[in-house]
Chains A and B, each alone.
Chain A
Amino acid sequence: MAEAQNIPAGSTTAGSIAVAAESTVATRMSAPPSFDVADFPVPHGREEEWRFTPLERLRGLHDGTAVADGEGVKVAIEAPEGVTVETVGRDDARVGRAGTPVDRVAAQAYSSFEQASVVSVPKEAVLTEPIRIAVHGEGGTAFGHQVIELGAFAEAVVVIDHTGDAVLAANVDYVLGDGAKLTVVSVQDWDEKAVHVAQHNALVGRDASFKSVVVTFGGDVVRIHPRVRYAGTGGEAELFGLYFTDAGQHQEHRLLVDHNTPHCRSNVAYKGALQGQDAHAVWIGDVLIQAKAEGTDTYELNRNLVLTDGARVDSVPNLEIETGEIAGAGHASATGRFDDEQLFYLMARGIPAEEARRLVVRGFFAELVQQIGLPDVEERLIAKIEAELEASVA
């Protein structure tokens, strides 16, 4: 095992499971959810939800000193015909419908954005081309709000690309109508100085399927908070994540699946590789099965591969079950190390060191990448992973 903090978790319902009448997942946040930044005290870093995050590197997003400068971020949306793209104000009913900010930075983003962008796919529209949202940092500070809304039985793929340099706090809402199918790929491929804190809220309609693929490569601090709730029975959420944390980077993924509705499913799988001094990855996987959510089926997994000394992983799965009438619930977390003995073994079979490393990392990610189901995204991720490895060797 590498230098890593790990809740020792088995393959099933072992580890930190609380069976409680009251939700500690909800109550361990230092303040209740709110759209108003004033409802959240400035965090000092010892709060449960902030204890892994280097506040001093958030460039003021957490304490009100970060101010939007108007030139921070350029957003370009490419949508196939039939899709509506609108710019709306805070009072639009669709804004904030999928979820409420749960921490100070998300509330700051909500309180500070100027205009929200709403992308709507009409009911029963089945898109053959993805909707592409390019978020490019121009070196400034920005607050954003993005809504993606699918009508009943609509099907869409959305690819959100984050590049450039920025200090960005944002909320992203996904609202899925009944029977809708949405796949969202959010790629954080920032330049090295960028700071990005975002809350993703998905509201999954009856019999709807939500698939989220969160990919984090770049940035100084990236903290993504994907959250899922269900608006009706039969909903399904698949949350996949892949991160490659380099020297000095802080990449944090905090997930919550709130099984608030009976007979819904969720499957969470995040995998990360780390290399270099002070590379720090944090994965928090909270699953809450409420008393009324009978027939829930959920599984969450986090795997980390530490490639060099000096990297650190904090992985905390947390499953909270308020009813025994479920189909299944489990979680697993493990952090392994690509060590000198593995390297020696592969090299002793003639495989050069760089190729040995590539073989191991590609193998580690392959299974997850194959589940994305979008060949062009899969190819791009593999290429990006290889590039990360090349950079490390050079």
Chain B
Amino acid sequence: MATLEIRDLHVSVEAENGPREILKGVDLTVKQGETHAIMGPNGSGKSTLAYSLAGHPKYTITAGTVTLDGEDVLEMSVDERARAGVFLAMQYPVEVPGVSVSNFLRTSATAVRGEAPKLRTWVKEVKESMERLQMDPAFAERNVNEGFSGGEKKRHEILQLELLKPKVAILDETDSGLDVDALRIVSEGVNRVRETGEVGTLLITHYTRILRYIKPDFVHVFANGRIAESGGAELADKLENEGYEAYTKGGASE
């Protein structure tokens, strides 16, 4: 069973006056089939955790370990991590002019699966996934994220999640900026992938709203660069009622 283990992770970014530590010792274990919600106020370091796991060059790991089934993730390049089964659905997916969605998806699937998917089954696979996410087929011929609305970008991220079938899916504020309909469609997409039981999900969110659609097994409150409290789904209800105030008091809010 695939397991992502994060141990005492410290991460810094380069700031004007030297490196600034954002993650200050994160411990977390995500197993295949589990869904962990990471909730926290703005600036608590949630997105830094997501991007650090994916290997974004902006973040420097200063201490700690991250392993996927015992393999050292931090040693891997960004593309190696993706091929090893780490997937990051981004909060702000970037535009890639000149590269069509269909070309991008196929190149990506070929890289992750280790061989080019058979054309006939591939076309069907993409078409069906797009239908389930209520994406217009014309999407396939558009350039990656170019001129996409916020909701279209998020559906496109979840489409990739469905096609790439990672071991660990990190969803970075996938719910932000979505209206209720789009949130439902995107959540259903995530749930279809979860139901396979083959993915460990790390759901990063600021709001409890998405947890009505995607039921977490564990909820972690993130504050001041580390996990401040962990619990079951009931912890989300507490946050819904009380907010993050209890966690930010005293801690330097970034």
Contacts and interface: CB of A to CB of B under 8 A. Distances in A.
Contacts of A361: 98
B14 to A, nearest CB: 14
A344 interface: yes
A353 B80 CA distance: 11
A348 B98 contact: no
22 contacts: A336-B97, A341-B94, A342-B96, A344-B54, A345-B93, A347-B77, A347-B78, A348-B82, A350-B79, A350-B108, A351-B79, A351-B107, A352-B79, A355-B107, A355-B111, A360-B97, A361-B98, A362-B98, A363-B99, A363-B100, A363-B143, A366-B98
B79 A347 contact: yes
Contacts of B93: 345
Interface of A: 305, 336, 340-342, 344-353, 355, 359-364, 366
Contact of A344 (B78, B99, B104, B164): B78
Contacts of A366: 98
Question: Can you list the 9 inter-chain pairs with the closest CB atoms, starting with the nearest?
Answer: A363-B98, A350-B111, A350-B82, A349-B108, A347-B78, A350-B112, A364-B98, A347-B79, A363-B99
B239 interface: no
**Residue from B77, B81, B104 with most neighbouring chain A CB atoms (10 Å):** B104
A349 B96 contact: no
Contacts of B79: 347-348, 350-353
A363 B81 CA distance: 25
A305 B99 CA distance: 13
Instruction: Name B's interface SS.
Output: mixed
Given A344-B78, A359-B99, A349 B56 contact: no
B94 A345 contact: yes
Contacts of A348: 54-55, 78-79, 81-82, 87-88, 90
Contacts of A353: 77, 79
B251 interface: no
Contacts of A342: 94-96
A349 B97 contact: no
Contacts of A362: 98
Given A348-B88, A349-B160, A350-B82, A359 B94 contact: no
Interface string B144-156: 1000000000000
